[in-house]
Amino acid sequence: MRISVEEVFETVQMTLDHHFDIRTVTLGINLKDCMDRRLSGLVKRVTDRIVEKGLQLNLFADLVEQKYGIPITNRRIAVTPAAILLEPLPRNQATVVKFAQALDAAARKADIDFLGGFGALVHKGTTAAEENLIDALPEALAKSQRICGFLNLASTQAGINMNAVVKVGGILKELAGRSENGIGCAKIAVFANVPEDNPFMAGAHHGVGEPDFSLNIGISGPGVVRNVVAQNPDCDLTKLSEIIKRTVFKITRAGELIGREMADLMRVDFGIVDISLAPTTLTGDSVAEIIEAMGVGRMGAPGSTAALALLIDAVKKGGAMASGNVGGLSGTFIPVSEDEGMIRAVKSGALSLEKLEALTSVCSVGLDMFAVPGNTPAEVISCIIADELAIGVVNGKTTSVRVIPVPGKKPGDIVHFGGLLGSAPVMKVPKFSSGRFIRRQGRLPSPLLALRN
């Protein structure tokens, strides 16, 4: 892949003026061969591998960052789902918590920002080991700093595991109560159709179909896209789509160049480039502001869903033209707390929880980083999760939920999480209960779309 001098200068300008960066390099590590019937044996093998590869990841990320002048913001590791690794061990929550703390210590020793994969794939049913892990999640995540969890509760092929959905509502309430402002809930995401190669937290894990090691790149450029949209205020939507596609093509090429070079240096497989537009709290680095630059008065106003659909389609087309290794989530994140434009939209009343859910029917990720009152019943949280997973199941796409029930807060309050997690207005939740529906449990059957064989 050849990069012209003009492209190099253009990428440097994107970096200096519009917050373009490599949001994350995430090394996927297979740990299945570390399994042991003794926790001490499992911990030793896992720790040795994570520390060795984590130190390499940091070393080569620094070298490549200095060479190209493009910031690599986060260095992360994703591992085999923890529930699989815990299968041979005794079924008690203390074992799960100790394993989480061991992973946390290994990530800290390797100076890794986050380690993902502390979760389970339970979209059709739940084993005893998986039940044990889910029950232990509040304590395990509360007693670790760098560990992120995920649960895949649904898939287009299997439907929705409603028994697990009901349980997770209570788990999130308990986890919120164990952390300041409920921030512990930011470290766990629940999914439908979770990808095996997602480099972004909290949902990253190293899937069972992956090789021993795989380097995945997450790029981000909302500020870059917003700039080109703002520079073309009067063109029609067809031309605007083409402009966005060309821009995403350029930033994807930069991401693939860095990803392949790092993979070669580390002597691991190059996995995927995730072309998701991931906003930050920095001014001008907002997905909502892209939508508003298109002409929508405020994110959440009529026209927002259509504009977001155009944006995501152009992002995917531009990325797919630039790389044969596009994967992960690839599209657009619309987290509330991490995007200045989304925060303004909620504060002004333009964006409600119901409209946010509607937007997720066309976006890549789902209901992400939004806060609800701390007194929201667990059954209501489970119903919110079920609604979002249903969108993913029926449409054959990945959707997820990261909801934060903030203890002691009511609708309209502002909660400050700090750092990249930003702040969020607490959103109003409908007062009507669907408890009778969610308590039916069972498995919501897969749609006819699943019968494609």
Count how many domains the chain has.
Answer: 1
Residue 5: per-residue pLDDT: 44
CA–CA separation, 234 and 247 (whole Å) = 18
Beta strand 159-161 pairing with 443-444: antiparallel
Would the pLDDT of 7 be above 60? Answer: no
CA–CA separation, 371 and 295 (whole Å) = 27
> Do the domain assignments include residue 265?
yes
Q: What is the mean pLDDT of residues 67-82?
A: 90
CA–CA separation, 251 and 272 (whole Å) = 14
Sign of CA dihedral 251, 255, 260, 261: positive
> Do the domain assignments include residue 452?
no
> Do the domain assignments include residue 385?
yes
> In 3-state terms, the chain is what percent helix, strand and coil (to 5)?
50, 20, 35
- For 325, half-sphere exposure in the C-beta direction (CA atoms, 13 angstrom radius) is 19
Please name the amino acid found at residue 435.
Answer: G
User: Quick check: 427 and 414 in contact, CB under 8 A?
Assistant: no
pLDDT in tens, 379-418: 999 999 999 999 999 998 999 999 999 999 999 999 888 7
Q: Give the three-state DSSP class for 189.
A: strand
> Do the domain assignments include residue 453?
no
Least confident of 54-58, 80-84, 92-96, 216-220: 216-220
Q: What is the CATH number of the domain that holds 155?
A: 3.20.70.20
Residue 202 preceded by cis peptide, ω within 30: yes
Residue 410: per-residue pLDDT: 92
Neighbours of 67 (CB within 10 A): 10
User: Quick check: 244 and 297 in contact, CB under 8 A?
Assistant: no
pLDDT band at 21 (very low <50, low <70, confident <90, very high): confident
pLDDT in tens, 230-245: 999 999 999 999 999 9
pLDDT in tens, 137-188: 999 999 999 999 999 999 999 999 999 999 999 999 999 999 888 889 999 9
CA–CA separation, 361 and 333 (whole Å) = 12
Own/partner contacts of 55-64, CB < 8 Å, gap of 24 or more, are 55/110, 55/111, 56/266, 57/25, 57/27, 57/110, 57/112, 57/266, 58/110, 58/111, 58/112, 60/262, 60/265, 60/266, 61/25, 61/262, 63/265, 64/258, 64/261, 64/262, 64/265
Among 102, 107, 189, 197, which Cα is nearest to 154's?
A: 189
- Cα angle, residue 78 at apex, residues 262 and 259 outer, rounded to 5°: 20
CA 351 to chain centre: 21
> Do the domain assignments include residue 270?
yes
pLDDT averaged over every residue in the chain: 90
Q: What is the mean pLDDT of residues 186-200?
A: 93
User: Quick check: 183 and 96 in contact, CB under 8 A?
Assistant: no
Residue 308: per-residue pLDDT: 95
Residue 145: per-residue pLDDT: 92
160: phi then psi, degrees, rounded to nearest 5: -115, 130
CA–CA separation, 99 and 86 (whole Å) = 9
CA–CA separation, 152 and 165 (whole Å) = 10
pLDDT in tens, 106-150: 999 999 999 999 999 999 999 999 999 999 999 999 999 999 999
Residue 359: per-residue pLDDT: 94
Torsion over CA of 313, 258, 70 and 279, rounded to 10 degrees? 30
- For 36, half-sphere exposure in the C-beta direction (CA atoms, 13 angstrom radius) is 12
> Do the domain assignments include residue 225?
yes
Residue 278: per-residue pLDDT: 83
- Cα angle, residue 287 at apex, residues 281 and 288 outer, rounded to 5°: 95
The residue with tokens 């995927």 is 272
- Domain that includes residue 257, residue range: 1-445
Would the pLDDT of 11 be above 80? Answer: no
**pTM of structure:** 0.91
Among 286, 380, 373, 300, which Cα is nearest to 338's?
A: 286
- For 1, half-sphere exposure in the C-beta direction (CA atoms, 13 angstrom radius) is 16
